Structure 1
């Protein structure tokens, strides 16, 4: 009986070693928290802008937003993306150094390629929506494509990220039917879900 348990333990250890050798496991939960906080701050800035300019987004789902308002919201989204990317790079590099892992290798490259292909497709599609004046669908589409990107990248990093991807997709699909709540869905998806995911990953893998 003990021999069988030892064999199972050995097989389990071999599986873990193989999994670590094929996945980028240095992704930090704190990067998710930082990304979520950045998104919440961005949403707060957008809300302030809408209120100060007497714009009720929910009244018409942003169908008659001015060019200035659209440009401002896109600028805030771009700043949020840069902050999230920089924080992810910092916390992940710190986590990799702490565990004596390499930050950049073939696993990192595979993960990023599989992440950014759906993101790039989603960005182009959002541009097409703006071109056809369908900006009320941008928030749901961003969530859906981002969720697809996470699912696509989950094969090369922490498997937990696929659950975040699934929730992002579900939230995006729901928001596509309730377009007047697009900003709320964006805030929940990129803000709250990121923070919850980041905290769970941090306590599961990093907190020792």
Structure 2
């Protein structure tokens, strides 16, 4: 009798967790986004190598306008592609598990993600305005990490560890301005792939 009650309580807790957390997040989404980040970072480093110097002597050397536009276009394309990968694998997993995609929990997690990302986006625009390009990589990592930590309560708790690592990496990047793209590639590329593999193996 006691075992049956315990099993019933465990089942109820499981149902409550499923209804209050977004469980359609796929590890393949992280892997896909990581590959996009890895390729984008590599291309960006190739484009800037020998053409643009983050630092010259003891002062920050601003980018030329054409390079700024090219890097912004590259970043925007990577963002759209990463979002596409995330949506595709999430929808596929939802159908496989028979779960609804657009629920109250989905709205909550999107709001929790959007607030730090929107503030971070405004901050990046300010950095662009004043030619502080060397701080952009670290800033994007920090605000992205904050968004993940903020959204953790509505999805897998593992996501907060990725968020903390992104924040740490972003803070370190601020002290190595000339190496910003390397930190960015590690954060949005390598960490995403590693996280995606762990998530996929754990929740497949």
TM-score range, shorter chain: over 0.9
SS in 1 for 2:174: helix
Other-structure match for 2:41: 43
Report deviation, 1:57. 4.0
Other-structure match for 2:15: 17
Whether the 8 Å contact between 1:63 and 1:136 is mirrored in structure 2 is no
Return 125-134 or 92-101, whichever deviates more.
Answer: 125-134
Whether the 8 Å contact between 1:147 and 1:168 is mirrored in structure 2 is yes
Cα distance in 1 for residues equivalent to 2:56 and 2:162: 30
Q: Within 5 Å, give how 1:115-194 maps onto structure 2.
A: 115-194=113-192
Give the CA RMSD over aligned residues: 1.7
The runs of 5 or more residues in structure 2 that have no matched partner are: none
Whether the 8 Å contact between 1:145 and 1:169 is mirrored in structure 2 is yes
Cα distance in 1 for residues equivalent to 2:95 and 2:162: 25
Report deviation, 1:5. 4.8
Q: TM-score, normalised by structure 1?
A: 0.91
* Residue number among 94, 102, 125 corresponding to 1:104 in the alignment: 102
Cα distance in 2 for residues equivalent to 1:64 and 1:21: 49
The runs of 5 or more residues in structure 1 that have no matched partner are: none
Cα distance in 2 for residues equivalent to 1:91 and 1:74: 26
Other-structure match for 2:27: 29
Whether the 8 Å contact between 2:33 and 2:82 is mirrored in structure 1 is yes
Whether the 8 Å contact between 2:54 and 2:134 is mirrored in structure 1 is no
Other-structure match for 2:82: 84
SS in 1 for 2:101: coil
Asked if 1:201 is matched to 2:199, the reply is yes
How many residues are aligned here?
203
Q: TM-score, normalised by structure 2?
A: 0.93
Q: Structure 1 residues 34, 58: CA separation in 2 closer, same or farther (over 3 Å shift)?
A: farther
